[in-house]
Amino acid sequence: MTLFHFTHSWFLPVFLLCGAIVIANIAHYVVFHLLRKNQLHSDETTGPQWAVREYLARPARAVFLITCIIAILPSIPALPGDWVSNIHQGFSMALVVSLGWLAIGAIYYLQTLVLRRYDITAEDNVRARRVHTQLQWVRRLVITFVVIVTIGALLWSFHDERLWHYGTGLLASAGLASLVLATAAKSTASNILAGLQIAVTEPIKLDDVVIVQGEWGRIEEITSAYVVVRIWDQRRLIVPLTYFIENAFQNWTRNSADILGTSFLYVDYSIPVAELRAQLDTVVKVSNLWDGRVCGLQVTNLSEHTMELRCLMSSKNASESFDLRCLVREEMTAYIQQHYPDAFPRTRFASLKDAGEEKQPPFAA
């Protein structure tokens, strides 16, 4: 009879637990089915439907499940000791963590919705890069706030005066600890403030073309402590955030991506500049790398041996400008080889009279 009574007393809680799991999954399915139904035409890999599945589905399932389990906890038969309170405390903590997880997922979801309107792969993407950079910093700031609130809610879920007593002692010693942390975390605090300043003043943005420490590359990632610069040869340059506040650097795409490129030719004085200028027009204007703004050839310097010619061209971005500069060098060099092979730089020698010969004086007989 005792075994039967024990089995009978636990039948209802087990039944309710199974029902809670079923109800949680049904609620989760209905809610997210409606969300997916409203976003049928979104991008399956980066759109809102993908963001719902990636960032919200799992934490929402955990919240539904834990909430339903907490609802049936009062029906659990009496357990020895503090088992019931400990179980309730554990599920309460799990619910707080799940809600924090859901809040962080919601932040990523909202970021995805906002960034859909700003395509960073477009040709004129200055505004898109600005929004991407600012949202990254705002996202990290809000997530930090959510984590702090979640930790506070976890502490609040403990109904133990001893925990708060220990917390008071920790706060009393925080003055000494803050001095140590202030010294140890000086660089961290500087980077955080530098990140705020970069987000507001925008000296750099994502996908900006920059020259840092003599290296040409693009801003690939901006974290809360450092910036990752993707060098043209696929290396990565890791630079502290404070570097971009305290040091000078080149930003080729701060306001726009279009840029002027140059190619220099060193030739002999005998070459006709007008013909080379016409040839440059022919080479540049048939190329898809030229954006149609600037094309010109000028004599920019003279030396005792050569004449310096500067070919100036414009392009839509730095990558196309580099390719166009290389094309101009190749085509102009080939043209000179074919039409003026003697016009490349060379050293001239003049014959001198025999040193043994003496000039006759004008009055000699």
Mean pLDDT for each consecutive 10-residue tract of the chain (365 residues)?
Answer: 48 60 66 60 56 76 78 65 70 85 86 78 70 79 84 71 50 49 57 74 86 91 87 91 88 86 92 93 93 93 91 91 94 93 74 52 47
Res 283: pLDDT? 94
Question: Strand 226-231's sheet: what is its strand order?
Answer: 236-240, 226-231, 215-222, 209-212, 250-251
Q: CA-CA distances (angstroms) from residue 268 to 299, 339, 349?
A: 12, 13, 15
Q: Which amino acid is at 244?
A: F
Residue 188 CB neighbours (<10 A): 12
Res 364: pLDDT? 44
> Crossing angle for the helix pair 174-184 and 186-201, nearest 10 degrees?
70
CB-based burial of residue 189 (10 Å sphere; 0-12 exposed, 13-18 middle, 19+ buried)? exposed
